[in-house]
């Protein structure tokens, strides 16, 4: 037992030599900070009390050996600090009885390393090397904040602020710069923010605005880019009155170039309060225009910025009579008029072929059309069934034939190929 005590004495004695009685340091031993920022390292120290004499506090960056230790902060007058530490390493201005906190501003990569605290009081001094601060400096990854209060409305000025609230007031003031396609002018600035006055236009919607912040003390630049969401509305109105032939089909389109998209509603006449729209789509389809002299339709546009009514007055005009109407009846559309000659030719062939021989089916090889004529044939056939002329019907009956009625049916044309020619047949069926 005695032997064990003797063996423990050197270890205890060595500990007392390395850690004198009453000297203690409370310190966070590892701190990580991004370059360009600042850091406060809390610290408290304890030592045997002496009731008189000043106290001097020191912070050193540990060198390779004791002679290479660099003084970075102290409250002792006429002490030469390391050049790069001047104006950046600070002790508390009014420290408490045990306060040894260290503040570092404009932290750079070269500040990485080990630091220790030293105290001098009257005739005593002590370096707390048994507990050191390990400072690690990393790249700056934080980004500026861009604040756009409220909604950006086209044509209305808005203040936009770029700030770096994570930076510290004691650091070298950063340099702000803006990049934007929108109309803007510089506004007031503070140490850690810069404001611009932005007047957005409709074409600025979706464009980018960038705030760039440069920290000159460490040569680091960060930025943030946001897209502008500009609320706007542009109502397109080409006319307020339009003459329309009676009986024609009509499509009315109401366009509102807006962000976000506006809600469109169609009404017959001026809309009354709580009226039900006749359509809630962009296009209003009118199969046949009425017989009234005038009709009014209103498109109501509702948007976040308000609503607006756009009215269109339709003036009905009588449809002009043409020679075709006396022969073929009333045929709607200009496209049918262009096929009048084809109509005569087909009816004439019904008559002449019937004269020569009574055959149940006749194939007309001369009625051959390209893709465009095939389309005309189909349109003409659809129109003929409802607009057949009286003169042609009587002409056929005057020949004394046994024809009761005839109708045309056109087969769908096959696609043309370069190697051969496809023939399109028009078939006439005669029923007795």
Proportion of the chain above pLDDT 90, given as a percent:
32
Residue 138: which pLDDT band, with cuts at 50, 70 and 90? very high
* 38 contacts 170 by C-beta, under 8 angstroms: yes
One domain for residues 224 and 122: no
At residue 180, the pLDDT reads 86
Domain shared by 90 and 155, yes or no: no
How confident is residue 16, by pLDDT bands cut at 50, 70 and 90?
very low
pLDDT at residue 36 in the model: 95
Q: Indicate whether 220 and 240 sit together in one domain.
A: no
- Residues with Cβ < 8 Å from 397, sequence gap 6 or more? 403
Q: Are residues 224 and 157 in the same domain?
A: yes
Q: Are residues 134 and 79 in the same domain?
A: yes
Residues 363 and 409 in one domain: yes
More confident residue, 12 or 341: 12
**pLDDT, tens only, 281-318:** 878 888 776 666 677 888 888 877 777 777 777 777 77
Of the residues 76, 110, 138, the one at which a domain ends: 138
What pLDDT does residue 109 have? Answer: 95
Q: Residue 12: inside a domain, yes or no?
A: no
Q: How far apart are CA 72 and CA 68, in angstroms?
A: 12
Does residue 131 form part of some domain?
Answer: yes
Does residue 335 share a domain with residue 425? yes
Q: Is 311 in the same domain as 327?
A: no
pLDDT at 176 over 90: yes
Could you tell me which residue, 203 or 407, shows the higher pLDDT?
203
In a domain, 10, yes or no: no
Share of the chain residues as helix, strand and coil, in percent rounded to the nearest 5: 20, 40, 40
Q: Please indicate, yes or no, whether residues 108 and 177 belong to a single structural domain of this protein.
A: no
**Is the residue at 3 inside a domain?**
no
Q: Is residue 1 part of a domain?
A: no
The residue count for the chain: 432
Please report which helix (H) or strand (E) contains residue 299, including its range: strand 294-303
**4 part of a folded domain:** no
Based on the domain organization, do 307 and 277 belong to the same domain?
Answer: yes
Q: Which of 164, 196, 228 is the last residue of a domain?
A: 228
State the Cα–Cα distance between residues 375 and 373, nearest whole angstrom.
5
pLDDT at 246 over 90: no
Q: pLDDT, tens digit, for every residue of 109-125?
A: 999 999 999 998 877 88
Q: 287 and 329: one domain?
A: no
The CATH number for 107's domain is 2.60.40.10
Does a structural domain hold residue 180? yes
Q: Name the domain boundary from 123, 138, 153.
A: 138
Range of the domain at 404: 323-431
50 is a domain residue: yes
Average predicted confidence (pLDDT) for the chain: 71
pLDDT tens, 178-235?
Answer: 988 887 888 888 889 999 998 888 888 889 999 999 999 999 999 999 999 888 766 5
Residue 293 has a pLDDT of 61
Give, in order, the Cα–Cα distances in Å from 174 to each of 163, 199, 226, 293, 378: 10, 26, 20, 72, 76
Shared domain check, 175 and 113: no
Count how many domains the chain has. Answer: 4
């Amino acid at each position: 037992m005695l032997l064990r005590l003797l063996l423990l004495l050197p270890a205890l004695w060595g500990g007392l030599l390395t850690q004198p009685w009453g000297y203690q340091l409370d310190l966070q031993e590892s701190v990580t900070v991004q370059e360009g920022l600042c850091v406060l390292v809390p610290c408290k120290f304890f030592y045997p009390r002496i009731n008189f004499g000043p106290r001097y506090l020191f912070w050193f960056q540990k060198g390779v050996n004791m002679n290479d230790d660099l003084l970075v902060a102290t409250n002792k007058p006429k002490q030469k600090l390391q050049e790069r530490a001047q104006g950046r390493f600070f002790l508390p201005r009014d420290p408490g009885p045990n306060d040894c906190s260290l503040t570092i501003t404009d932290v750079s990569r070269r500040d990485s390393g080990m630091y220790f605290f030293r105290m001098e009081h009257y005739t005593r001094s002590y370096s707390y090397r048994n507990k050191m601060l390990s400072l690690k400096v990393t790249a700056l990854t934080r980004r500026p904040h861009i604040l756009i209060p409220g909604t950006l409305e086209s044509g209305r000025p808005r203040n936009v602020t770029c700030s770096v609230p994570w930076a510290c007031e004691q650091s070298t003031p950063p340099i702000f710069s803006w990049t934007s396609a929108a109309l803007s002018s510089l506004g007031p600035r503070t140490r850690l923010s810069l404001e611009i006055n932005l007047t957005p236009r409709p074409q600025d919607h979706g464009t980018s605005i960038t705030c760039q912040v440069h920290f000159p003390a460490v040569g680091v630049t960060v930025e943030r880019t946001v897209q502008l969401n500009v609320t706007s509305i542009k109502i397109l109105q080409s006319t307020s009155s339009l003459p329309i032939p009676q009986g024609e089909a009509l499509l009315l389109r109401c366009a509102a170039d807006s962000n976000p998209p506006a809600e469109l509603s169609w009404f017959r006449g001026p809309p009354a309060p709580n009226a039900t729209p006749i359509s809630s789509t962009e296009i209003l389809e009118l199969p046949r225009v009425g017989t009234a002299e005038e009709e009014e339709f209103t498109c109501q546009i509702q948007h976040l910025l308000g609503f607006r009514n756009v009215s269109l007055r339709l003036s009905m005009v009588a449809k002009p009579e043409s020679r075709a109407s006396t022969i073929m009846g009333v045929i709607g559309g200009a496209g049918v008029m262009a096929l009048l000659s084809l109509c005569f030719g087909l009816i004439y062939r019904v008559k002449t072929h019937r004269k020569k021989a009574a055959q149940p089916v006749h194939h007309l090889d001369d009625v051959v059309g390209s893709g465009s004529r095939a389309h005309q044939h189909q349109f003409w056939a659809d129109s003929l069934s409802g607009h057949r002329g009286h003169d042609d019907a009587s002409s056929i009956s005057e020949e004394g034939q046994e024809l009761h009625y005839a109708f045309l049916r056109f087969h769908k044309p096959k696609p043309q190929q370069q190697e051969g020619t496809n023939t399109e047949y028009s078939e006439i069926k005669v029923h007795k």
